[in-house]
Amino acid sequence: MGKTIDVMSLYPKDMNIYGDSGNVLTIRRRLELYGYEPRIHQYNQGDAWPDRVDLILGGGGQDTGQKKIIDDFFKRADLLRSLAADGTPMLMICGLYQLFGEYFETVDGTRLDGIGIIGAHTVGRDVRMIGNLVEHSEQFGDVIGYENHSGQTFLNEGVRPLGHVDQEGRGNNGEDHTEGARVNNVIGTYMHGSLLPKNPAISDFLITTAVTRRYGSFDTSDQTPEQAAELKRLDAVAANARKTAAARPR
């Protein structure tokens, strides 16, 4: 039996659009294929929080979904802040990326406070930014995904973006060519897609960070040759999907 890794899917009922739950499936499958045993938890409003969480995944949601979870989200803010400060790897897409920032002012003028893990704020605009997107990231190479948001996010001075986009009018805010944010082991990004099936480098960063924090090192001694071969096959599928998405900007 492989070593367990506890993965938390955050608010999957209300914060999961454009296939973001594919990120959870990808982490589960890759953990298995590396010879680990994923235990997937789901946290929705009012749920209990498990004793141990090694990796947290959160998806996007419409403004209405964000308003729905916000009160409960604040009850978990201190916990999430201390896990982030402690180095727990997290991936927050779109709607939850915005709420991991300092605030989100929606297009109708409602201000939703965020939990401030990421030094950024978001302002809703009438124009949506939509389409396949390639961004360049030092750590992960080209990151490929699909953005669809009306919120424009501005990073505070000194906050590292996840990457940079070449095109005008895309990414965090359509103005400064940044996309996403990186704080400690927390990644915030507008990239749906789902993101992780097409970006094994980010999946493996989340996995190796979670495993190393829990077990001291990342080793694949429990991996079978069949599992190693399947992982290779998945990476080839990802490479193909990346090529297709990169060739279709909209």
- Annotated binding residues for substrate, written as ranges, equal 128
Exactly one of 28, 76, 149, 170 binds ligand GLN (CB under 6 A); which one? 149
Q: Based on the shown chain and the rule CB under 6 A, indicate whether residue 22 belongs to the binding site for ligand GLN.
A: no
Q: Which of 94, 121, 149, 177 is catalytic?
A: 94
Closest CA to 22 of 219, 248, 191: 191
Q: Based on the shown chain and the rule CB under 6 A, indicate whether residue 123 belongs to the binding site for ligand GLN.
A: no
* Calpha distance 109→26 (Å, rounded): 36
Q: Based on the shown chain and the rule CB under 6 A, indicate whether residue 60 belongs to the binding site for ligand GLN.
A: yes
Q: Interacting stretch for ligand GLN, rule CB under 6 A, among 2-10, 143-151, 173-181, 232-240?
A: 143-151
Q: What is the DSSP string of the chain?
A: -PPEEEEEEESTTTS--TTTHHHHHHHHHHHHHTT-EEEEEEE-TTPPPPS--SEEEE----HHHHHHHHHHHHHTHHHHHHHHHHT--EEEEHHHHHHHSSEEE-TTS-EEE---SSSEEEEEEEEEEEEEEEEEETTTEEEEEEEEEEEEEEEPTTPBPSEEE-STT-TTTSSS-EE-EEETTEEEE--BSSHHHH-HHHHHHHHHHHHHHHHSS---TT--HHHHHHHHHHHHHHHHHHHHHHT---
Shortest distance (Å) from residue 37 CB to ligand GLN? 31
Active-site residue, 94 included? yes
Q: Based on the shown chain and the rule CB under 6 A, indicate whether residue 94 belongs to the binding site for ligand GLN.
A: yes
Q: Based on the shown chain and the rule CB under 6 A, indicate whether residue 63 belongs to the binding site for ligand GLN.
A: yes
The residues facing 2 across adjacent strands are: none
CB closer to ligand GLN out of 44 and 62:
62
Exactly one of 22, 38, 61, 200 binds ligand GLN (CB under 6 A); which one? 61
Shortest distance (Å) from residue 79 CB to ligand GLN? 22
CB closer to ligand GLN out of 62 and 220:
62
Q: Based on the shown chain and the rule CB under 6 A, indicate whether residue 21 belongs to the binding site for ligand GLN.
A: no
Total residues contacting ligand GLN by CB under 6 A comes to 11
Active-site residue, 136 included? no
Q: Based on the shown chain and the rule CB under 6 A, indicate whether residue 38 belongs to the binding site for ligand GLN.
A: no
Q: Which of 121, 149, 177, 192 is catalytic?
A: 192
Catalytic residues: 94, 192
Interacting residue ranges for ligand GLN, rule: CB under 6 A: 17, 60-63, 94-95, 148-151
